[in-house]
Amino acid sequence: MPSLPSGLLGDLDPTSDRAVFRQIADQLREAIDRGRFKEGEKLPSEAELVEHYGVSRMTVRNSFSVLQGEGLVHAEHGKGVFVRPRPPVRRLASDRFARRHREQGKSAFIVEADAAGSHPQVDSLEVKEEKASQDVSNRLGSVRRVLARRRRYLLDGRPVEFATSYLPLDIARGTPIAEPNPGPGGIYARLEELGHRLDHFEEEIRARMPSPDEVRTLRLASGVPVIHLIRTAFDQEGRAVEVCDTVMAADAYVLSYQLPAT
Amino acid sequence: MPSLPSGLLGDLDPTSDRAVFRQIADQLREAIDRGRFKEGEKLPSEAELVEHYGVSRMTVRNSFSVLQGEGLVHAEHGKGVFVRPRPPVRRLASDRFARRHREQGKSAFIVEADAAGSHPQVDSLEVKEEKASQDVSNRLGSVRRVLARRRRYLLDGRPVEFATSYLPLDIARGTPIAEPNPGPGGIYARLEELGHRLDHFEEEIRARMPSPDEVRTLRLASGVPVIHLIRTAFDQEGRAVEVCDTVMAADAYVLSYQLPAT
DNA sequence: CTTGCCCACTCGTCTATACGAGTAAGCGTG
DNA sequence: CACGCTTACTCGTATAGACGAGTGGGCAAG
Protein backbone atom coordinates (compact mmCIF):
# COMPACT_ATOMS: atom_id res chain seq x y z
CA MET A 1 0.00 0.00 0.00
CA PRO A 2 1.33 3.43 -0.95
CA SER A 3 1.79 5.53 2.15
CA LEU A 4 0.27 8.96 2.46
CA PRO A 5 2.25 12.00 1.30
CA SER A 6 3.62 13.43 4.53
CA GLY A 7 2.45 16.88 5.53
CA LEU A 8 -0.94 16.45 3.92
CA LEU A 9 -2.54 15.48 7.20
CA GLY A 10 -1.29 16.07 10.72
CA ASP A 11 -1.05 13.83 13.74
CA LEU A 12 -3.47 13.08 16.51
CA ASP A 13 -3.29 14.81 19.84
CA PRO A 14 -3.58 12.02 22.41
CA THR A 15 -3.94 14.54 25.25
CA SER A 16 -6.96 16.17 23.63
CA ASP A 17 -10.46 15.61 24.95
CA ARG A 18 -11.70 15.56 21.42
CA ALA A 19 -12.57 12.08 20.19
CA VAL A 20 -10.10 10.58 17.77
CA PHE A 21 -12.63 10.23 14.97
CA ARG A 22 -13.49 13.90 15.38
CA GLN A 23 -9.87 14.93 15.22
CA ILE A 24 -9.47 12.97 12.00
CA ALA A 25 -12.67 14.49 10.60
CA ASP A 26 -11.39 17.95 11.59
CA GLN A 27 -8.12 17.43 9.74
CA LEU A 28 -9.83 16.14 6.63
CA ARG A 29 -12.35 18.98 6.73
CA GLU A 30 -9.62 21.54 7.06
CA ALA A 31 -7.65 19.99 4.23
CA ILE A 32 -10.75 20.16 2.04
CA ASP A 33 -11.49 23.75 3.05
CA ARG A 34 -7.92 24.74 2.25
CA GLY A 35 -8.28 23.20 -1.16
CA ARG A 36 -5.72 20.46 -0.51
CA PHE A 37 -8.37 18.12 -1.80
CA LYS A 38 -10.30 19.62 -4.64
CA GLU A 39 -13.88 19.07 -5.74
CA GLY A 40 -14.44 15.58 -7.03
CA GLU A 41 -11.02 14.51 -5.88
CA LYS A 42 -10.49 11.24 -4.04
CA LEU A 43 -9.60 11.32 -0.37
CA PRO A 44 -7.10 8.84 1.08
CA SER A 45 -8.63 5.39 1.37
CA GLU A 46 -9.76 3.99 4.67
CA ALA A 47 -6.75 1.67 4.73
CA GLU A 48 -4.33 4.55 4.15
CA LEU A 49 -5.83 6.56 6.98
CA VAL A 50 -5.81 3.53 9.26
CA GLU A 51 -2.08 3.28 8.64
CA HIS A 52 -1.40 7.01 8.84
CA TYR A 53 -3.16 7.53 12.14
CA GLY A 54 -2.64 4.10 13.63
CA VAL A 55 -6.30 3.63 14.45
CA SER A 56 -8.82 0.97 13.61
CA ARG A 57 -10.86 1.03 10.47
CA MET A 58 -14.16 1.72 12.24
CA THR A 59 -12.67 4.90 13.66
CA VAL A 60 -11.74 6.11 10.21
CA ARG A 61 -15.16 5.20 8.88
CA ASN A 62 -16.70 7.13 11.74
CA SER A 63 -14.74 10.20 10.64
CA PHE A 64 -15.98 9.80 7.10
CA SER A 65 -19.55 9.50 8.28
CA VAL A 66 -19.20 12.82 10.10
CA LEU A 67 -18.07 14.49 6.89
CA GLN A 68 -20.82 12.77 4.93
CA GLY A 69 -23.38 14.12 7.35
CA GLU A 70 -22.00 17.58 6.72
CA GLY A 71 -22.44 17.05 3.01
CA LEU A 72 -18.73 17.52 2.40
CA VAL A 73 -17.87 14.13 0.93
CA HIS A 74 -19.59 11.10 -0.53
CA ALA A 75 -18.43 7.50 -0.75
CA GLU A 76 -18.60 5.34 -3.84
CA HIS A 77 -18.54 1.63 -3.29
CA GLY A 78 -15.47 0.06 -4.81
CA LYS A 79 -13.94 3.40 -5.77
CA GLY A 80 -13.28 5.62 -2.79
CA VAL A 81 -14.44 8.64 -0.89
CA PHE A 82 -14.62 11.87 -2.84
CA VAL A 83 -15.01 15.54 -2.13
CA ARG A 84 -18.56 16.29 -3.13
CA PRO A 85 -18.59 18.62 -6.11
CA ARG A 86 -20.88 21.61 -5.90
CA PRO A 87 -23.37 21.20 -8.70
CA PRO A 88 -24.38 24.14 -10.82
CA VAL A 89 -27.19 25.90 -9.04
CA ARG A 90 -30.47 26.96 -10.49
CA ARG A 91 -31.48 30.43 -9.45
CA LEU A 92 -35.17 31.01 -8.98
CA ALA A 93 -36.03 34.67 -9.17
CA SER A 94 -39.17 36.07 -7.68
CA ASP A 95 -40.37 37.31 -11.08
CA ARG A 96 -40.20 33.84 -12.59
CA PHE A 97 -43.97 33.71 -12.92
CA ALA A 98 -44.35 37.13 -14.45
CA ARG A 99 -46.66 37.16 -17.45
CA ARG A 100 -43.91 38.23 -19.79
CA HIS A 101 -42.09 34.95 -19.14
CA ARG A 102 -45.20 33.07 -20.15
CA GLU A 103 -45.35 34.00 -23.80
CA GLN A 104 -43.09 31.33 -25.20
CA GLY A 105 -44.05 27.80 -26.13
CA LYS A 106 -41.63 26.01 -23.89
CA SER A 107 -41.79 25.76 -20.13
CA ALA A 108 -39.78 28.15 -18.00
CA PHE A 109 -37.62 25.28 -16.80
CA ILE A 110 -36.61 24.26 -20.31
CA VAL A 111 -35.96 27.78 -21.55
CA GLU A 112 -33.88 28.68 -18.55
CA ALA A 113 -31.82 25.49 -18.57
CA ASP A 114 -31.11 25.81 -22.28
CA ALA A 115 -29.92 29.34 -21.70
CA ALA A 116 -27.62 28.13 -18.94
CA GLY A 117 -26.15 25.51 -21.26
CA SER A 118 -27.45 22.50 -19.40
CA HIS A 119 -29.61 19.68 -20.65
CA PRO A 120 -33.09 19.78 -19.10
CA GLN A 121 -35.58 16.94 -18.87
CA VAL A 122 -38.99 16.48 -17.34
CA ASP A 123 -40.28 13.03 -16.46
CA SER A 124 -42.56 11.06 -14.12
CA LEU A 125 -45.41 12.99 -15.56
CA GLU A 126 -48.64 11.97 -13.91
CA VAL A 127 -51.96 13.73 -14.12
CA LYS A 128 -54.89 12.39 -12.17
CA GLU A 129 -57.81 13.23 -9.99
CA GLU A 130 -57.46 12.37 -6.33
CA LYS A 131 -58.59 13.13 -2.83
CA ALA A 132 -57.13 16.34 -1.47
CA SER A 133 -54.92 16.08 1.59
CA GLN A 134 -56.06 18.07 4.59
CA ASP A 135 -53.37 20.67 4.00
CA VAL A 136 -54.11 21.10 0.31
CA SER A 137 -57.81 21.26 1.02
CA ASN A 138 -57.26 24.02 3.56
CA ARG A 139 -55.16 26.03 1.17
CA LEU A 140 -57.59 25.66 -1.72
CA GLY A 141 -60.58 26.49 0.44
CA SER A 142 -62.13 23.19 1.49
CA VAL A 143 -62.19 21.24 -1.71
CA ARG A 144 -62.51 17.47 -1.41
CA ARG A 145 -61.06 16.24 -4.66
CA VAL A 146 -58.40 17.83 -6.83
CA LEU A 147 -56.54 17.42 -10.07
CA ALA A 148 -52.93 16.52 -9.27
CA ARG A 149 -50.14 17.13 -11.76
CA ARG A 150 -46.85 15.50 -10.78
CA ARG A 151 -43.55 15.89 -12.54
CA ARG A 152 -39.85 15.56 -11.89
CA TYR A 153 -37.25 17.94 -13.28
CA LEU A 154 -33.73 16.88 -14.24
CA LEU A 155 -30.66 18.87 -15.21
CA ASP A 156 -27.98 17.02 -17.15
CA GLY A 157 -29.53 13.76 -16.06
CA ARG A 158 -29.61 14.63 -12.39
CA PRO A 159 -33.02 14.97 -10.72
CA VAL A 160 -33.19 18.32 -8.96
CA GLU A 161 -36.85 18.90 -8.21
CA PHE A 162 -40.10 17.07 -7.75
CA ALA A 163 -43.30 19.04 -7.94
CA THR A 164 -47.02 18.43 -7.64
CA SER A 165 -49.66 20.95 -8.60
CA TYR A 166 -53.14 20.64 -7.13
CA LEU A 167 -56.13 22.33 -8.74
CA PRO A 168 -59.82 22.33 -7.82
CA LEU A 169 -61.76 20.02 -10.13
CA ASP A 170 -64.32 22.67 -11.00
CA ILE A 171 -61.56 24.71 -12.56
CA ALA A 172 -59.36 22.09 -14.16
CA ARG A 173 -61.54 19.16 -15.21
CA GLY A 174 -61.99 18.84 -18.94
CA THR A 175 -59.57 21.66 -19.74
CA PRO A 176 -56.07 21.52 -21.23
CA ILE A 177 -54.85 21.69 -17.62
CA ALA A 178 -55.93 18.08 -17.26
CA GLU A 179 -53.78 17.09 -20.24
CA PRO A 180 -50.19 15.87 -19.76
CA ASN A 181 -49.00 18.80 -21.85
CA PRO A 182 -51.08 21.86 -21.03
CA GLY A 183 -49.61 23.86 -23.92
CA PRO A 184 -47.52 27.05 -24.25
CA GLY A 185 -47.12 29.09 -21.10
CA GLY A 186 -48.07 26.18 -18.88
CA ILE A 187 -51.04 25.91 -16.59
CA TYR A 188 -50.83 29.54 -15.48
CA ALA A 189 -51.47 30.66 -19.04
CA ARG A 190 -54.41 28.24 -19.26
CA LEU A 191 -55.82 29.43 -15.95
CA GLU A 192 -55.85 32.99 -17.22
CA GLU A 193 -57.52 31.92 -20.47
CA LEU A 194 -60.18 30.25 -18.39
CA GLY A 195 -60.94 33.55 -16.75
CA HIS A 196 -58.90 33.16 -13.60
CA ARG A 197 -56.68 36.18 -13.95
CA LEU A 198 -53.83 35.68 -11.55
CA ASP A 199 -53.29 38.27 -8.88
CA HIS A 200 -50.47 37.05 -6.69
CA PHE A 201 -48.65 34.02 -5.34
CA GLU A 202 -47.81 33.02 -1.81
CA GLU A 203 -44.76 30.89 -1.22
CA GLU A 204 -43.89 29.06 1.98
CA ILE A 205 -40.36 27.81 2.34
CA ARG A 206 -38.97 25.20 4.68
CA ALA A 207 -35.72 23.26 4.73
CA ARG A 208 -35.30 19.80 6.22
CA MET A 209 -33.60 16.48 5.67
CA PRO A 210 -35.23 14.35 2.98
CA SER A 211 -37.41 11.33 3.64
CA PRO A 212 -36.14 8.01 2.25
CA ASP A 213 -38.65 8.44 -0.57
CA GLU A 214 -37.22 11.80 -1.49
CA VAL A 215 -33.69 10.43 -1.32
CA ARG A 216 -34.70 7.88 -3.94
CA THR A 217 -36.68 10.20 -6.19
CA LEU A 218 -34.06 12.93 -6.22
CA ARG A 219 -31.09 10.55 -5.93
CA LEU A 220 -29.79 12.66 -3.10
CA ALA A 221 -26.37 12.18 -1.61
CA SER A 222 -26.30 11.96 2.16
CA GLY A 223 -25.84 15.32 3.79
CA VAL A 224 -27.97 17.14 1.24
CA PRO A 225 -31.13 18.74 2.65
CA VAL A 226 -34.21 19.58 0.64
CA ILE A 227 -36.00 22.85 0.22
CA HIS A 228 -39.72 22.37 0.53
CA LEU A 229 -41.68 25.10 -1.20
CA ILE A 230 -45.45 25.39 -1.18
CA ARG A 231 -46.86 27.94 -3.56
CA THR A 232 -50.47 29.04 -3.68
CA ALA A 233 -51.74 30.99 -6.67
CA PHE A 234 -54.60 33.46 -6.14
CA ASP A 235 -56.80 34.95 -8.82
CA GLN A 236 -58.16 38.45 -8.76
CA GLU A 237 -61.28 37.37 -6.93
CA GLY A 238 -58.97 36.26 -4.14
CA ARG A 239 -59.65 32.60 -4.75
CA ALA A 240 -56.83 30.07 -4.41
CA VAL A 241 -56.73 28.39 -7.80
CA GLU A 242 -53.62 26.26 -7.49
CA VAL A 243 -51.33 24.83 -4.83
CA CYS A 244 -47.91 23.67 -5.98
CA ASP A 245 -45.88 21.51 -3.64
CA THR A 246 -42.22 21.38 -4.61
CA VAL A 247 -39.30 19.50 -3.13
CA MET A 248 -35.90 20.61 -4.37
CA ALA A 249 -32.39 19.26 -3.86
CA ALA A 250 -31.01 22.06 -1.73
CA ASP A 251 -27.56 21.93 -3.28
CA ALA A 252 -29.00 22.70 -6.69
CA TYR A 253 -30.95 25.83 -5.86
CA VAL A 254 -30.73 29.40 -4.76
CA LEU A 255 -34.04 31.17 -4.31
CA SER A 256 -34.12 34.87 -4.80
CA TYR A 257 -36.89 37.25 -3.79
CA GLN A 258 -37.45 40.91 -4.18
CA LEU A 259 -39.41 42.66 -1.44
CA PRO A 260 -40.76 46.18 -1.55
CA ALA A 261 -39.74 48.36 1.41
CA THR A 262 -43.26 49.77 1.44
CA MET B 1 -33.47 -5.82 31.52
CA PRO B 2 -37.16 -5.35 30.72
CA SER B 3 -37.95 -6.90 27.37
CA LEU B 4 -39.65 -4.94 24.63
CA PRO B 5 -43.45 -4.93 24.43
CA SER B 6 -44.18 -7.43 21.69
CA GLY B 7 -45.86 -6.12 18.57
CA LEU B 8 -44.25 -2.73 18.85
CA LEU B 9 -41.52 -3.65 16.42
CA GLY B 10 -41.46 -6.44 13.89
CA ASP B 11 -38.84 -9.02 13.01
CA LEU B 12 -36.00 -8.97 10.55
CA ASP B 13 -36.29 -10.50 7.12
CA PRO B 14 -33.10 -12.55 6.72
CA THR B 15 -33.87 -13.16 3.03
CA SER B 16 -34.05 -9.48 2.26
CA ASP B 17 -31.27 -7.71 0.41
CA ARG B 18 -31.78 -4.75 2.65
CA ALA B 19 -29.07 -4.41 5.26
CA VAL B 20 -30.08 -5.33 8.77
CA PHE B 21 -29.38 -1.88 10.20
CA ARG B 22 -31.58 -0.39 7.47
CA GLN B 23 -34.40 -2.79 8.28
CA ILE B 24 -34.20 -1.79 11.91
CA ALA B 25 -34.11 1.89 10.99
CA ASP B 26 -37.12 1.33 8.71
CA GLN B 27 -39.12 -0.26 11.49
CA LEU B 28 -38.26 2.47 13.96
CA ARG B 29 -39.05 5.15 11.40
CA GLU B 30 -42.38 3.62 10.62
CA ALA B 31 -43.23 3.29 14.30
CA ILE B 32 -42.42 6.96 14.76
CA ASP B 33 -44.43 7.96 11.70
CA ARG B 34 -47.40 5.98 12.96
CA GLY B 35 -47.19 7.76 16.27
CA ARG B 36 -46.26 4.65 18.23
CA PHE B 37 -43.45 6.75 19.61
CA LYS B 38 -44.53 10.29 20.20
CA GLU B 39 -42.55 13.50 20.12
CA GLY B 40 -40.02 13.67 22.90
CA GLU B 41 -40.67 10.06 23.83
CA LYS B 42 -37.81 7.66 24.50
CA LEU B 43 -37.08 4.90 22.02
CA PRO B 44 -36.05 1.45 23.23
CA SER B 45 -32.47 1.47 24.47
CA GLU B 46 -29.64 0.03 22.42
CA ALA B 47 -29.48 -2.97 24.74
CA GLU B 48 -33.19 -3.66 24.35
CA LEU B 49 -32.96 -3.55 20.57
CA VAL B 50 -29.87 -5.75 20.63
CA GLU B 51 -31.90 -8.32 22.52
CA HIS B 52 -35.07 -7.89 20.46
CA TYR B 53 -33.40 -8.28 17.09
CA GLY B 54 -30.54 -10.53 18.13
CA VAL B 55 -27.91 -8.31 16.53
CA SER B 56 -24.79 -6.66 17.81
CA ARG B 57 -24.79 -3.29 19.43
CA MET B 58 -22.94 -1.56 16.60
CA THR B 59 -25.69 -2.61 14.22
CA VAL B 60 -28.31 -0.99 16.41
CA ARG B 61 -26.20 2.12 16.74
CA ASN B 62 -25.88 2.22 12.98
CA SER B 63 -29.68 2.22 12.71
CA PHE B 64 -29.90 5.09 15.15
CA SER B 65 -27.34 7.06 13.21
CA VAL B 66 -29.46 6.70 10.09
CA LEU B 67 -32.45 8.17 11.90
CA GLN B 68 -30.30 10.90 13.40
CA GLY B 69 -29.12 11.86 9.95
CA GLU B 70 -32.74 12.18 8.92
CA GLY B 71 -33.35 14.48 11.85
CA LEU B 72 -35.95 12.12 13.29
CA VAL B 73 -34.32 11.33 16.62
CA HIS B 74 -31.57 12.59 18.87
CA ALA B 75 -29.50 10.81 21.48
CA GLU B 76 -28.83 12.07 24.98
CA HIS B 77 -25.82 10.66 26.73
CA GLY B 78 -26.82 8.71 29.80
CA LYS B 79 -30.52 9.06 29.12
CA GLY B 80 -31.57 7.47 25.87
CA VAL B 81 -32.60 8.14 22.30
CA PHE B 82 -35.63 10.33 21.83
CA VAL B 83 -38.00 11.28 19.06
CA ARG B 84 -36.98 14.80 18.18
CA PRO B 85 -39.76 17.21 19.05
CA ARG B 86 -40.73 19.73 16.40
CA PRO B 87 -40.00 23.10 17.89
CA PRO B 88 -42.41 25.95 17.44
CA VAL B 89 -41.59 27.62 14.17
CA ARG B 90 -41.11 31.25 13.56
CA ARG B 91 -42.87 32.49 10.46
CA LEU B 92 -41.12 35.22 8.55
CA ALA B 93 -43.53 37.07 6.31
CA SER B 94 -42.37 39.06 3.33
CA ASP B 95 -43.79 42.28 4.78
CA ARG B 96 -41.73 41.97 7.95
CA PHE B 97 -39.68 45.02 6.99
CA ALA B 98 -42.60 47.21 6.09
CA ARG B 99 -42.36 50.69 7.55
CA ARG B 100 -45.48 50.24 9.61
CA HIS B 101 -43.74 47.49 11.60
CA ARG B 102 -40.95 49.89 12.38
CA GLU B 103 -42.77 52.40 14.54
CA GLN B 104 -42.44 50.69 17.88
CA GLY B 105 -39.55 50.90 20.27
CA LYS B 106 -38.74 47.22 20.40
CA SER B 107 -37.19 45.14 17.66
CA ALA B 108 -39.40 43.11 15.37
CA PHE B 109 -38.00 39.89 16.81
CA ILE B 110 -38.95 40.82 20.38
CA VAL B 111 -42.41 42.08 19.51
CA GLU B 112 -43.23 39.05 17.43
CA ALA B 113 -41.96 36.52 19.97
CA ASP B 114 -43.85 38.20 22.79
CA ALA B 115 -47.00 38.03 20.73
CA ALA B 116 -46.40 34.32 20.13
CA GLY B 117 -46.01 33.75 23.85
CA SER B 118 -42.36 32.76 23.76
CA HIS B 119 -39.46 34.28 25.59
CA PRO B 120 -37.09 36.09 23.21
CA GLN B 121 -33.48 37.02 23.82
CA VAL B 122 -30.72 38.63 21.81
CA ASP B 123 -27.08 38.08 22.70
CA SER B 124 -23.55 37.88 21.30
CA LEU B 125 -23.98 41.43 20.31
CA GLU B 126 -20.87 42.70 18.57
CA VAL B 127 -20.45 45.88 16.60
CA LYS B 128 -17.15 46.63 14.95
CA GLU B 129 -15.44 47.85 11.85
CA GLU B 130 -13.73 45.25 9.73
CA LYS B 131 -12.53 44.34 6.28
CA ALA B 132 -15.33 43.40 3.92
CA SER B 133 -15.29 39.89 2.51
CA GLN B 134 -15.18 39.64 -1.25
CA ASP B 135 -18.84 38.69 -1.39
CA VAL B 136 -20.03 41.49 0.87
CA SER B 137 -17.87 43.97 -1.00
CA ASN B 138 -19.44 42.90 -4.29
CA ARG B 139 -22.92 43.27 -2.94
CA LEU B 140 -22.29 46.66 -1.38
CA GLY B 141 -20.57 47.98 -4.47
CA SER B 142 -16.83 47.59 -3.90
CA VAL B 143 -16.38 48.88 -0.41
CA ARG B 144 -13.23 47.82 1.42
CA ARG B 145 -14.17 48.22 5.03
CA VAL B 146 -17.57 47.88 6.64
CA LEU B 147 -19.37 48.19 9.93
CA ALA B 148 -20.39 44.71 11.05
CA ARG B 149 -23.24 44.17 13.50
CA ARG B 150 -23.45 40.60 14.80
CA ARG B 151 -26.16 39.21 17.04
CA ARG B 152 -27.71 35.90 17.98
CA TYR B 153 -31.43 35.41 18.53
CA LEU B 154 -32.87 32.94 21.02
CA LEU B 155 -36.42 31.74 21.66
CA ASP B 156 -37.13 30.24 25.06
CA GLY B 157 -33.42 29.84 25.58
CA ARG B 158 -32.80 28.07 22.33
CA PRO B 159 -30.61 29.81 19.73
CA VAL B 160 -32.48 29.96 16.45
CA GLU B 161 -30.68 32.48 14.31
CA PHE B 162 -27.33 34.17 13.93
CA ALA B 163 -27.15 37.30 11.85
CA THR B 164 -24.54 39.79 10.73
CA SER B 165 -25.35 43.11 9.11
CA TYR B 166 -22.71 44.85 7.03
CA LEU B 167 -22.92 48.56 6.27
CA PRO B 168 -20.58 50.85 4.34
CA LEU B 169 -18.52 52.99 6.73
CA ASP B 170 -19.42 56.24 5.00
CA ILE B 171 -23.03 55.60 5.93
CA ALA B 172 -22.77 54.08 9.37
CA ARG B 173 -19.68 55.45 11.10
CA GLY B 174 -20.43 57.84 13.92
CA THR B 175 -24.19 57.29 13.72
CA PRO B 176 -26.53 55.41 16.09
CA ILE B 177 -26.10 52.47 13.71
CA ALA B 178 -22.62 52.02 15.14
CA GLU B 179 -24.05 51.78 18.66
CA PRO B 180 -24.92 48.40 20.20
CA ASN B 181 -28.51 49.55 20.50
CA PRO B 182 -29.44 51.59 17.44
CA GLY B 183 -32.75 52.70 18.93
CA PRO B 184 -36.43 52.26 18.09
CA GLY B 185 -37.18 50.73 14.71
CA GLY B 186 -33.68 49.34 14.36
CA ILE B 187 -31.07 50.22 11.81
CA TYR B 188 -33.59 50.51 8.97
CA ALA B 189 -35.31 53.36 10.80
CA ARG B 190 -31.90 55.01 11.35
CA LEU B 191 -30.93 54.57 7.71
CA GLU B 192 -34.08 56.38 6.63
CA GLU B 193 -33.44 59.19 9.09
CA LEU B 194 -29.98 59.53 7.61
CA GLY B 195 -31.54 60.17 4.24
CA HIS B 196 -31.31 56.69 2.78
CA ARG B 197 -34.95 56.09 2.07
CA LEU B 198 -35.33 52.37 1.52
CA ASP B 199 -36.72 51.21 -1.78
CA HIS B 200 -36.60 47.44 -1.77
CA PHE B 201 -34.82 44.36 -0.43
CA GLU B 202 -33.33 41.40 -2.22
CA GLU B 203 -33.16 38.08 -0.43
CA GLU B 204 -31.15 35.06 -1.49
CA ILE B 205 -32.01 31.78 0.15
CA ARG B 206 -29.98 28.61 0.36
CA ALA B 207 -30.26 25.52 2.53
CA ARG B 208 -27.35 23.32 3.52
CA MET B 209 -25.93 21.35 6.40
CA PRO B 210 -24.32 23.51 9.08
CA SER B 211 -20.59 23.93 9.57
CA PRO B 212 -19.21 22.76 12.93
CA ASP B 213 -19.11 26.44 13.96
CA GLU B 214 -22.79 26.84 13.20
CA VAL B 215 -23.61 23.64 15.06
CA ARG B 216 -21.99 25.15 18.12
CA THR B 217 -23.44 28.64 17.83
CA LEU B 218 -26.98 27.44 17.16
CA ARG B 219 -26.68 24.30 19.34
CA LEU B 220 -28.04 22.31 16.43
CA ALA B 221 -29.05 18.69 16.75
CA SER B 222 -27.64 16.43 14.07
CA GLY B 223 -29.91 16.15 11.08
CA VAL B 224 -31.00 19.77 11.23
CA PRO B 225 -30.01 21.85 8.21
CA VAL B 226 -29.65 25.60 8.19
CA ILE B 227 -31.32 28.19 6.04
CA HIS B 228 -28.81 30.72 4.83
CA LEU B 229 -30.41 34.01 3.90
CA ILE B 230 -28.55 36.97 2.45
CA ARG B 231 -30.54 40.17 2.29
CA THR B 232 -29.45 43.33 0.54
CA ALA B 233 -31.24 46.60 1.22
CA PHE B 234 -31.38 49.20 -1.52
CA ASP B 235 -32.21 52.87 -1.11
CA GLN B 236 -34.14 54.93 -3.59
CA GLU B 237 -30.97 55.94 -5.40
CA GLY B 238 -30.47 52.25 -6.09
CA ARG B 239 -27.50 52.02 -3.78
CA ALA B 240 -26.99 48.92 -1.64
CA VAL B 241 -26.90 50.28 1.90
CA GLU B 242 -26.86 47.08 3.92
CA VAL B 243 -26.13 43.40 3.52
CA CYS B 244 -27.50 41.09 6.19
CA ASP B 245 -26.18 37.55 6.35
CA THR B 246 -28.41 35.29 8.39
CA VAL B 247 -28.08 31.64 9.35
CA MET B 248 -31.21 30.07 10.79
CA ALA B 249 -31.92 26.69 12.36
CA ALA B 250 -34.10 25.24 9.63
CA ASP B 251 -36.42 23.44 12.04
CA ALA B 252 -37.37 26.71 13.66
CA TYR B 253 -38.42 28.66 10.58
CA VAL B 254 -40.90 28.93 7.80
CA LEU B 255 -40.28 31.71 5.34
CA SER B 256 -43.23 33.16 3.57
CA TYR B 257 -43.21 35.40 0.52
CA GLN B 258 -45.82 37.15 -1.45
CA LEU B 259 -45.17 37.62 -5.16
CA PRO B 260 -47.14 39.75 -7.55
CA ALA B 261 -48.38 37.91 -10.65
CA THR B 262 -47.53 41.00 -12.69
C1' DC C 1 -34.58 14.47 56.86
C1' DT C 2 -30.53 15.50 54.15
C1' DT C 3 -26.32 14.49 52.23
C1' DG C 4 -23.34 11.81 49.68
C1' DC C 5 -22.04 7.53 47.70
C1' DC C 6 -22.87 3.58 44.89
C1' DC C 7 -24.83 1.20 41.28
C1' DA C 8 -27.45 0.21 37.29
C1' DC C 9 -28.52 1.83 33.03
C1' DT C 10 -27.69 4.77 29.27
C1' DC C 11 -24.99 6.29 25.17
C1' DG C 12 -19.89 7.39 23.43
C1' DT C 13 -15.59 5.75 21.76
C1' DC C 14 -12.41 2.43 20.11
C1' DT C 15 -10.27 -2.07 18.84
C1' DA C 16 -9.90 -6.28 16.10
C1' DT C 17 -11.74 -9.28 12.89
C1' DA C 18 -14.42 -11.28 9.22
C1' DC C 19 -16.73 -11.62 5.00
C1' DG C 20 -19.35 -9.48 1.07
C1' DA C 21 -19.55 -6.79 -3.03
C1' DG C 22 -18.40 -3.16 -6.53
C1' DT C 23 -14.47 -1.49 -9.58
C1' DA C 24 -10.79 -1.44 -12.60
C1' DA C 25 -6.74 -3.01 -14.45
C1' DG C 26 -3.82 -6.68 -15.95
C1' DC C 27 -3.19 -10.93 -18.09
C1' DG C 28 -3.95 -14.98 -20.55
C1' DT C 29 -6.65 -17.47 -23.78
C1' DG C 30 -9.13 -18.08 -27.85
C1' DC D 1 -7.50 -8.10 -31.22
C1' DA D 2 -11.39 -9.21 -28.12
C1' DC D 3 -13.17 -11.48 -24.44
C1' DG D 4 -13.30 -13.26 -19.86
C1' DC D 5 -10.98 -14.39 -15.69
C1' DT D 6 -8.19 -13.22 -11.79
C1' DT D 7 -6.60 -10.14 -8.55
C1' DA D 8 -5.99 -6.22 -5.77
C1' DC D 9 -8.07 -2.47 -3.96
C1' DT D 10 -12.13 -0.05 -2.58
C1' DC D 11 -16.16 0.61 0.63
C1' DG D 12 -20.36 -1.99 3.08
C1' DT D 13 -21.99 -4.81 6.71
C1' DA D 14 -21.76 -7.24 10.91
C1' DT D 15 -19.80 -9.41 15.20
C1' DA D 16 -17.78 -9.34 19.96
C1' DG D 17 -15.65 -7.09 23.34
C1' DA D 18 -13.74 -3.36 26.22
C1' DC D 19 -13.71 0.83 28.73
C1' DG D 20 -15.42 5.64 29.54
C1' DA D 21 -18.77 8.94 31.01
C1' DG D 22 -23.38 11.09 31.94
C1' DT D 23 -27.80 10.25 34.58
C1' DG D 24 -30.79 9.13 38.11
C1' DG D 25 -32.53 6.30 41.72
C1' DG D 26 -31.79 3.94 45.98
C1' DC D 27 -29.55 3.32 50.10
C1' DA D 28 -26.74 4.22 54.03
C1' DA D 29 -24.52 7.36 57.03
C1' DG D 30 -24.73 11.52 59.37
Q: Which tens digit of pLDDT belongs to each residue from A34-76?
A: 999 999 999 999 999 999 999 999 999 999 999 999 999 999 9
CB proximity B22–strand C (7 Å threshold): no
> Which value, to the nearest 10 degrees, does the dihedral of the CA atoms of residues A178, A180, A185, A187 take?
30
CB proximity A17–strand C (7 Å threshold): no
- pLDDT grade, residue A104 (50/70/90)? low
What single-letter DSSP state applies at residue A1?
-
> What stretch of H or E contains A133?
none
- pLDDT grade, residue B8 (50/70/90)? confident
Bases of chain C below 7 A from a protein C-beta are 9-18, 20-24
- pLDDT grade, residue B126 (50/70/90)? very high
A 204-243 near B (Cβ less than 8 A):
204-212, 222-227, 233
Contacts of B32 (CB under 8 A, 6+ apart): B67, B72, B73, B83
CA distance A45 to A151: 39
Give A-chain residues touching B202 at CB under 8 angstroms: 256-259
Q: Which range among A79-88, A180-189, B2-11, B174-183 has the greatest average pLDDT?
A: A79-88
Mean pLDDT of B3-32: 88
Give the residue among A190, A5, A32, A203 at the shortest CA–CA distance from B259. Answer: A203
Residue B5 has pLDDT above 70, yes or no: no
Contacts of A197 (CB under 8 A, 6+ apart): A235, A236
- The number of helix segments (H) and strand segments (E) in chain B equals 8, 10
User: For chain A, how many residues are written?
Assistant: 262
- pLDDT grade, residue A259 (50/70/90)? very high
Return the pLDDT at B4.
64
Mean pLDDT of B54-81: 97
Q: Are B29 and B40 in contact (CB under 8 A)?
A: no
Return the pLDDT at A28.
98
Return the pLDDT at A4.
65
Cα distances from B262 to residues A94, A200, A243, in angstroms, run 11, 8, 18
- pLDDT grade, residue B181 (50/70/90)? confident
B 101-160 near A (Cβ less than 8 A):
none
**B246 φ, ψ (degrees, to nearest 5):** -125, 130
Residue B165 has pLDDT above 90, yes or no: yes
CB contact under 8 A, B201 and A259: yes
Give A-chain residues touching B84 at CB under 8 angstroms: none
Mean pLDDT of B34-43: 95
Measured in angstroms, the CA of A100 and the nearest CA of chain B are apart by 8
- pLDDT grade, residue A101 (50/70/90)? confident
CA distance A21 to A27: 10
Map out the domains of chain B with their CATH numbers.
Answer: 20-83 (1.10.10.10), 90-255 (3.40.1410.10)
